[in-house]
Structure 1
Amino acid sequence: MNATQITRQALPEHSHIASQTPGADFADCYCFADPCPDASAMETYLVVMGKTPRWMDFLMAVRNHAVRLVGLKHLGAMHLPPSAQPASSYKVGERVGIFSLIHLTADEVIVCDDDKHLRVQVSVFKHQELGQPMVSVSTVVHNHNRLGRLYMAVVGPVHQLIVPIMLKQVLHAPSAAHR
């Protein structure tokens, strides 16, 4: 796999996020060559979110405006501004941008947003494939009710279109492998 190729794959079987799929209404995973294999999963997550393209924040703003009319939560922006807090200081239970940190090891970080309509979990998992360091970014969603199902019927297909584009732009961003 070349350094900028993004492939859609099954959730990595040795990841913690894979154990969250029973009963899930949506799950996907995108994998790419690790641009910084010596970084922890949290460092990689912070780099990816810190390089989120501005158009993603625009889409989030449109989403936030539209869903408040039907009672869904305003999430804020996806982009994480640079933080004075080092990656090693984050603890489970803390907020990291729009998500709460629910799982943290050297090779995987899982963040979550859970409300009355749905539970969204996002994982950054660092692993080896055929001896090459890789990163898998996975999303698992559990709908809690009809509004959650309706929301994911619209957002799910859009998510599958924009996440690979966003990740490719992140990998092409200047200093994407360094923070």
Structure 2
Amino acid sequence: MTEKPMTNQAPCFHSLAFREIPRPDYADVCLATLPNGAGTDPTEWAERLFSLESMPRWVAGAMGLRQALVPLIGIPRAPQDTFKVTDQSGEEALIFVRDKHLNFAAAVGVDPVSRLIRVTTAVELKGWRGRLYFGVVRPVHPIVVNSMLKKATRSKPSPT
């Protein structure tokens, strides 16, 4: 059976990440199971996942290395509040960063019925600096996010 190309159809996969970056140059989705007794507030989970204190040590170290190296290619260091929640709608909290080299959106969604947490990432690259920077980040991005999810869901849950 040959599939016909779909035209003029709305996307069936919805995420706040794709609201901000509807045609990403890169996108991924990482999933984890919520621990028993854990809360389901997506903003709390987003803040927990992206908190420097709760990141795996090697991820925090990589972030520090990033801060040291990016000025060498003309990218400014990220401010302290880079990973703050910028919006919440329904079961998702959004972290959206607009920069001169790329736009980054991470939507943290919590499904209380299936007890899953997901991080949907969308990236829009801008110019050679964005392509160079993300060329290094792309292969490790899912590993980083999965490590963050693993540590966050292993930690003591906060009831909601």
TM-score (norm 1): 0.70
Q: How many residues align?
A: 145
Deviates more, 1:105-114 or 1:62-71: 105-114
Pair 1:141 & 2:123 matched = yes
Q: What letter matches 1:178 in structure 2? A: S
Identity %: 27
Following superposition, the deviation at residue 153 of structure 1 comes to 1.2
Which residue of structure 2 lines up, in the alignment, with residue 116 of structure 1? 100
Pair 1:75 & 2:70 matched = no
Which residue of structure 1 lines up, in the alignment, with residue 89 of structure 2? 105
> Which of residues 135, 138, 150 in structure 2 aligns to 1:156?
138
Alignment deviations for residues 107-161 of structure 1 (CA, whole Å, 9 cap, x no partner): 1111112111100111101126xx5121111111001111111111111102122
| 8 Å Cα contact 1:100-1:113 kept in structure 2 | no
Query: Structure 2 CA distance, aligned partners of 1:30 and 1:101?
Result: 18
Which residue of structure 2 lines up, in the alignment, with residue 89 of structure 1? none
Pair 1:22 & 2:22 matched = yes
> Which of residues 56, 60, 73 in structure 2 aligns to 1:53?
56
Which residue of structure 1 lines up, in the alignment, with residue 68 of structure 2? 65
Q: What is the alpha-carbon root mean square deviation over aligned residues?
A: 2.3
Larger Rg: 2
Alignment deviations for residues 49-80 of structure 1 (CA, whole Å, 9 cap, x no partner): 34212322211111111111111121257xxx
TM-score (norm 2): 0.77
Deviates more, 1:159-168 or 1:26-35: 159-168
Q: Measured at CA, do residues 116 and 18 of structure 1 come closer, stay the same or move farther in structure 2, by a change above 3 Å? A: closer
Q: What letter matches 1:57 in structure 2? A: A
Which residue of structure 1 lines up, in the alignment, with residue 158 of structure 2? 178
| 8 Å Cα contact 1:42-1:106 kept in structure 2 | no
Query: Structure 1 CA distance, aligned partners of 2:76 and 2:45?
Result: 27
| 8 Å Cα contact 1:124-1:137 kept in structure 2 | yes
Which residue of structure 2 lines up, in the alignment, with residue 126 of structure 1? 110
